[in-house]
Chain A
């Protein structure tokens, strides 16, 4: 039994839900993200938020998977501050829907000034509603700088780091995140983030407290079964079932339950 706390099921097939259920997935959380193209208007986001709060929970439920979501305008579309503010103004009307856990995945992409402005406005919204935050950290060469900028912005707003998950950490950012009191997520990607082997190495070097693993499977090169594959890697190395359960079920449940909305059957 496991939780995949970050996956973009709007980009996946129903067959993927079926395979995840067979592999033991009982709950997922789906942050709002970039569709692979820039949406042309704020109304496009409203349709997307309806998909996340109405359609996907029904699709997941067919396979006994509890579906939850996070809302935002993704940092990849934050360069246009006018559009971002239009979307931000509409987000509160969706926040009381039963599967919404908080604000996410917010953060930075290219570490630009406009991205930072939009990030800070999302943080302020989360702070004003006492919502959990799920953070996207930038890709590849931009990750280390962006991770530092994001953590500084969150601290500047007085948000409790214990209510923030900083995602996509790797070897060069995991310690920065944990040492400042945040939760850390490792995304399991074939090429551009952590492999199951490297994620297990990171657990062995940095421990398992305030850590989780996720597939972040989307429309790109990714694997919706990455979490069970990492569980298998840990098992191959002889790690205890209790430790494997901690990083793939207990820890996500503990963090997400702070929302008051997270349910797992």
Chain B
């Protein structure tokens, strides 16, 4: 069941939606950096926040020219350990594990 859309149709159909998503990410990082500047802490380029670091690492992955970007981004953010944790300390998940 391969896609029946041509490259032109894909761009015509989805470009504006994804242009907006890129701007949302840009504005999010700008917002984070403005807050970091006012707090006197590290901005998005050097932050220790696990989630922002994970997001920026995924942005690098998107431009590496390789396929399966969605799968590889999810794997980048995933816990790769194999043993059960001793106790569930919280109900939810934050979206990414700390990068090495």
State the A residues within 8 Å of B (CB): 34, 76, 79, 109-116, 138-145, 148-149, 170-172, 197-198, 201, 203-204, 207-208, 236-239, 243
| B57 to A: closest C-beta gap in Å | 13
- Give a binary string over B57-100; 1 marks a CB under 8 Å from any A CB, 0 the rest: 00000000000101100110111111011111111111111000
Taking a contact as CB atoms closer than 8 A, the residue among A139, A172, A237 that contacts B4 in the complex is: A237
**Can you offer 18 A-B residue contacts whose CB atoms are under 8 A?**
A34-B91, A79-B88, A111-B84, A112-B87, A115-B84, A139-B92, A141-B93, A141-B95, A142-B79, A143-B74, A143-B78, A148-B82, A171-B68, A171-B74, A172-B74, A201-B70, A204-B3, A236-B13
The residues in B between 13 and 63 inclusive whose CB is less than 8 angstroms from any CB of A are: 13-14
Q: Is the CB of A113 within 8 A of B1?
A: no
CA distance A111 to B93 in the complex (A): 11
Interface size (B, Cβ < 8 Å)?
32
CA distance A172 to B79 in the complex (A): 12
CA distance A224 to B45 in the complex (A): 39
A-B CB contacts (within 8 Å), total count: 89
State the B residues within 8 Å of A (CB): 1-5, 13-14, 68, 70-71, 74-75, 77-82, 84-97
Q: Is the CB of B85 within 8 A of A113?
A: yes
Provide the residues of chain B in CB contact with A170, threshold 8 Å: 70, 74
Taking a contact as CB atoms closer than 8 A, the residue among B1, B91, B92, B95 that contacts A207 in the complex is: B1
* Chain B residue at minimal CB-CB distance from A108: B84
* Chain B residue at minimal CB-CB distance from A145: B79
Q: Is the CB of B84 within 8 A of A113?
A: yes
| A212 to B: closest C-beta gap in Å | 15
Q: Is the CB of B85 within 8 A of A144?
A: no
CA distance A115 to B89 in the complex (A): 12
Q: Is the CB of B88 within 8 A of A171?
A: no
| A154 to B: closest C-beta gap in Å | 15
Provide the residues of chain B in CB contact with A201, threshold 8 Å: 70
Question: What is the interface of chain A mostly: helix, strand, loop, or mixed?
Answer: helix
CA distance A208 to B90 in the complex (A): 35
CA distance A198 to B70 in the complex (A): 9
Provide the residues of chain B in CB contact with A76, threshold 8 Å: 91
Q: A171 and B70 in contact (CB under 8 A), knowing A204-B3, A243-B1?
A: yes
| A151 to B: closest C-beta gap in Å | 13
Provide the residues of chain B in CB contact with A111, threshold 8 Å: 79, 84-85
Provide the residues of chain B in CB contact with A139, threshold 8 Å: 92-93
CA distance A145 to B92 in the complex (A): 15
